[in-house]
Every structure is written in structure tokens, then in C-alpha cells.
Amino acid sequence: MDRTDRISEEIKKEVSAIIQNELKDPRLPKMISVTAAEVTRDLRYAKIFISVLGDENDKKNAIKGLKSAAGFIRREIGQRLKLRYTPEILIELDNSIERGVYLNKLIEDTVRGKQENT
């Protein structure tokens, strides 16, 4: 595991803690999680992937809220992690969990359909 992977993991943990404990934005739903963080090699940018449980409106509001709090999140990370340069925070919506649930449902439906045919 190289340095950027370790820093990405630390940033993921810290951003998750900040979202759960520090942010008081009413646009943020209760079920929000940080699925991944990717830091560029030069440590200038950190792309944070967020998963939101809810409808499209909840997701849009959560992303807006997190993007408006990106400066605060960056400052908190700068205070918590001792890095020479604190990366710029970029927020992205991660639909992989929902995609996985959907694919799992398709697989179950297919298996169930085959069992009914035999």
C-alpha cells in the first residue's frame, strides 16, 4: 500500500466522521456514507465518493450541502491530519451500492424464474 492509498483511507475516515458529527446542514439526510476517497499523487485534490440512501431529490440536496461545506471539510482535515498540503475536496455521488442492490435483485429474479420453470 503506497502513501497516497494510506492518505486516501485516512481522509475517507475523517470525512465520514466530519459528516456524521460536525455538519449540521438540514439538506443532509441521516443515511449518508463515504464509500471511497481518491487522492491525486501530488495531494492537490481528494475526490470523495458519497452514497446517499433516498430519492433523487435527497441525493441532489446532499451533494449541494456537501459541496457548500467542502471548505469546512478541507479545513477540518487540515487540522486533523498533519500533511504539508491539504487537498482540495471534490464531492462525487457514488451509485455503486444501489447498482449492486439492483443487480442482486435481477440475479435473484432470474434464479427464481429458472426454479419455477423446472
Tens of pLDDT, residue by residue over 81-94, are 988 889 999 999 98
Closest CA to 47 of 5, 16, 2, 90: 90
Closest CA to 20 of 11, 32, 10, 7: 32
User: What's the CATH code of the domain at 37?
Assistant: 3.30.300.20
- Cα separation, 52 vs 96, in Å, equals 11
Q: What percent of the chain has pLDDT over 70?
A: 98
- Domains in the chain: how many in total? 1
Domain span at residue 104?
3-117
Give the per-residue pLDDT at 16: 92
Closest CA to 88 of 20, 32, 40: 40
Give the per-residue pLDDT at 118: 64
Residue 2: enclosing H or E segment and its boundaries?
A: none
pLDDT single digits (tens) 41-79 = 998 999 999 998 888 888 899 999 999 999 999 999 999
